[in-house]
């Protein structure tokens, strides 16, 4: 798994590539936590390069959305591929997280 963080005002885009599983989820959680700690609470995860996730990955997403919202921001997902969407749907996460087809749409969803 690779992670690239990019500031796209007024948001922070975290671009993730590869598998988010029990081997990599802690690294993702730490990266997202650092952004929230730095005050970057309008977060977007670009998942267009993520081909696999398990409950370990969902743990990182759940912790992040809770922290971002309690800090007055949000954590939104962009470009979710069908297999990962299936996991989000099975767990009911599609009803608690906002999903957008692409990063541009997710950036535009935050007030400027």
Partner 1 sequence: MSDATEDAATEELVCEGRRERLGDLLAFVDRACARAALDPDVAFDVRLATEEAVTNVIEHGYAGGPAPGPIALRFHHDARQVVVTIDDLAPPFDPTAIRPADPSAPLEQRRIGGLGWHFVTRVMDDVRHEHRHPRGNRLTLVKRLGATD
Q: Does 1 bind partner 1 (CB under 8 A)?
A: no
Give the x/- contact pattern for partner 1 in 52-81, rule: CB under 8 A: x-xxx-xx--x--xx--x------------
2-31: contacts with partner 1 (CB under 8 A): 21-23
Q: Is 111 left (phi over 0), alpha (psi -120 to 50) or beta?
A: beta
Burial (CB < 10 A; 0-12, 13-18, 19+), residue 65, is buried
Cβ–Cβ under 8 Å, residues 46 and 35: no
Footprint on this chain of partner 1 (rule: CB under 8 A): 21-23, 52, 54-56, 58-59, 62, 65-66, 69, 83, 87, 90-92, 95-96
């Amino acid at each position: 798994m690779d992670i690239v963080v990019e500031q796209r005002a007024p948001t922070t885009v975290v671009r993730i590539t590869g598998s988010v599983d029990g081997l990599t989820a802690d690294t993702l959680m730490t990266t997202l936590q650092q952004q929230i700690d730095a005050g970057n609470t309008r977060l977007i995860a670009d998942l267009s390069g993520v081909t696999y996730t398990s409950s370990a990955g969902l743990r990182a997403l759940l912790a992040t959305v809770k922290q971002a919202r309690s800090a007055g921001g949000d954590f939104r997902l962009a470009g979710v591929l069908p297999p990962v969407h299936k996991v989000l749907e099975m767990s009911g996460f599609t009803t608690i997280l906002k999903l957008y087809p692409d990063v541009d749409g997710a950036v535009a969803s935050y007030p400027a």
